[in-house]
Structure 1
């Protein structure tokens, strides 16, 4: 099962993940935080939260922010829990993006960063995000974009050599998935981080 492979890979990476990807994490998550425009009263769900760096960024601005992070890697979550141990309103759970253990209409904002290319059931994940989103809430997803040449090359190489990688999407393909998940894209862009990394971000809400 793909999730078993991803879990094993990230459990092995957990101890060095923040240091190895320090610049990439800082740049992409700072951009996401600015883009997302999360208010202090929003209840936030972070899907595939990793080591909790996005939570740390949010809490640096609003120390009372209510956040739930989910990930399939226990060891990544252990690091996240340690980072946020001083904040009782922040919690972490082991869960798949395709099966979120929450009631419907629970969250004001759902974010997912740098993870969508790992989802082996992306449409199921989007439908789950839609289910747990409040009627006036928003979903923000940031991920690699196959419209960039170097990302196309990375996608080909990773498919050949990294069994945890599923696929990168073009911006149009990504938007179609969001639409198929009954989410309406309200804001979107593509952005480069350095020479290699070309990403896309989209904010979506429930279709009327």
Structure 2
């Protein structure tokens, strides 16, 4: 079942890849801007963007944190091909599912993901994978649609009926619970609107340090 959803997501974005940033220009710019605003001053050396799409957030992170070693993953090879056009060769890009990441334990200082969590049919598995690959003390910054807002609840219900790729949106309480139950310490949970329709949340969470 999860594999079917992976295929649906990859198929949907393979068709959108070459026009994604033009079609969703306002939304992409706003989500990148708001996520960047909430990043800490120091991301550490190794940074992973899960479901990086066409690389808009990676480009912004590279500009703001030029010393960081950047990696991106996405289910869609076509989206990654678009990302590659606008990123230097030293930014590593991998076709991979968020619940089965091709990285060793404790290898990233920071993991970011934007506008992807509502696609994950196995959110616990995704967060456990993120926890596994983060070093002790490493951080996750997760931005996504927020079901606290009525407009997003309406969009969520419609997409569940008509979009095979969409799984579900979460409210901030559910997101907080998911993070804590997968071993994270939640440092902050921001909710905000980027338009009359789109309400987002950004969670900042930490993998506990070794004692």
Q: Relative to structure 1, is the Cα distance of residues 111 and 160 closer, same or farther in structure 2, using a 3 angstrom cutoff?
A: same
How far the C-alpha of 1:150 sits from its partner, in A, is: 0.4
**Alignment correspondent of 2:60:** 57
Gaps of 5+ in 2: none
**Alignment correspondent of 2:110:** 109
Contact 1:40 1:64 in 2 (8 A): no
Query: 1:11 is matched with which residue: 5, 11, 14?
Result: 14
Deviations along 1:66-91, one digit per CA (max 9) or x if unpaired, are 10000000000001111113xx4311
Q: Matches of 1:139 and 1:35 in 2, distance apart?
A: 11
Report which stretch shifted further, 98-107 or 33-42.
Answer: 33-42
Q: Matches of 2:207 and 2:42 in 1, distance apart?
A: 19
Gaps of 5+ in 1: none
Aligned residues: 206
| Local SS of the residue matching 2:125 | helix
Point out 4+ residue stretches in structure 1 off by more than 3 angstroms. none
**Alignment correspondent of 1:120:** 121
**Alignment correspondent of 1:42:** 45
How far the C-alpha of 1:96 sits from its partner, in A, is: 0.3
What is the CA RMSD across the aligned residues, in angstroms? Answer: 1.2
Q: Matches of 1:193 and 1:164 in 2, distance apart?
A: 23
**Alignment correspondent of 2:184:** 183
TM-score (norm 1): 0.95
* Aligned counterparts, 1:138-157, within 5 A: 138-157=139-158
Contact 2:172 2:189 in 1 (8 A): no
Contact 2:43 2:110 in 1 (8 A): no
Contact 2:45 2:109 in 1 (8 A): yes
Deviations along 1:58-112, one digit per CA (max 9) or x if unpaired, are 2223334210000000000001111113xx4311000000001001011000000
Are residues 1:80 and 2:93 paired? no
